[in-house]
Amino acid sequence: MKKTLKFLKEHKQFTFFGILAILIILAAIFAPLLTGGVDPLKGSLTEALEAPSKEHIFGTDKMGRDIYARVIYGARASLTSTFGVVVLIFLVGSVVGVIAGYFGGKIDAVLMRIADMMLAFPGLVLALAVAGIMGASIRNAIIAIVAVNWTKYARLARSLVMKIRDRDYVSAAIVTGSQTPYMLLRYMLPNALPTLIITAATDVGGMMLEIAALSFLGFGAKPPTPEWGYMLNEGRACMQSAPWMMLYPGLAIFLVVVVFNMLGDSIRDILDPRAE
């Protein structure tokens, strides 16, 4: 306990933004409590486009749904999809990169050429194309973003593995009869993990923006799902008459992205203090 408190005191930025990130996650988990049981999907046309008031502190949308409730519940969809994207990109890219870096030769050439093909297209444009082919849904948006962004992790993992592949202790382990799965799990992956974790931590904010962008363009969440990017899309038509429809989802995206970006920078400083 003393070591934990000492660590938190020494890394104040990490502590501050870590607490904010935990509060955001808790807000998503306990959304029914924070909204007083208000259903984010239930509306009343008689209350459509009401300005912020005591009854609806963030106002209502064109269907009469409470925007405060939709913003709070929207954290569930946005955070879940964002963390899902980061985890999948991390796993796919790490596995491909470690295999390519360790085996080299034709395996490395084939995997890296596939990565080069993916990098030849602008990321968001390719994600839009994939999502457009598969249809609009959160799941397909996640698949599209993963298909585009795994290459960065693969190249990073490959370069890290290639640095240690020819070390003496690795050669000695091979000579003594160590099997390939053991070599990958015991030597290759642990050496690549810290840098990959730093990259994943700093990518959370960016992935959230990409998911929001796909939903905003109509390739992500489908109505009536409360998702921040889709809520921005809904508010476009009423931007002048009911600006609160875009203001509060936009603020939610801004605040959450800033918190997780700063938290990622803090994790980077802790795990790799030499980085500038």
On the question of pLDDT at 7 being above 70, the answer is: yes
On the question of pLDDT at 131 being above 90, the answer is: no
Tokens of 233: 């899309």
Q: pLDDT-derived band of residue 273, with 50, 70 and 90 as boundaries?
A: low
What's the mean per-residue pLDDT of the chain?
87
C-alpha–C-alpha distance, residues 234 and 245, integer Å: 8
Arithmetic mean of pLDDT, 67-95: 93
What is the CB neighbour count within 10 angstroms for residue 161?
24
Tokens of 93: 């890219």
Q: What is the pLDDT of residues 95-108, one digit of tens each?
A: 999 999 888 889 99
User: What interhelical angle do 189-216 and 244-271 show, nearest 10?
Assistant: 170
Q: What is the pLDDT of residues 212-247, one digit of tens each?
A: 988 888 888 888 889 999 999 988 888 888 899 999
On the question of pLDDT at 21 being above 90, the answer is: yes
The reported pLDDT for the residue numbered 33 is: 93
Q: What is the pLDDT of residues 146-191, one digit of tens each?
A: 988 899 899 999 998 888 887 777 777 777 777 878 788 888 888 8
Arithmetic mean of pLDDT, 47-57: 90
Q: Which domains does the chain have, with CATH numbers?
A: 9-35+54-158+195-271 (1.10.3720)
Q: What is the pLDDT of residues 8-19, one digit of tens each?
A: 788 889 999 999
Arithmetic mean of pLDDT, 106-129: 83
User: Which amino acid is present at 114?
Assistant: I
Residues β-bridged to residue 66 = 60
Whole-model pTM?
A: 0.87
On the question of pLDDT at 125 being above 90, the answer is: no
Arithmetic mean of pLDDT, 137-141: 86
CA dihedral 4, 5, 8, 10 (to 10 degrees): -110
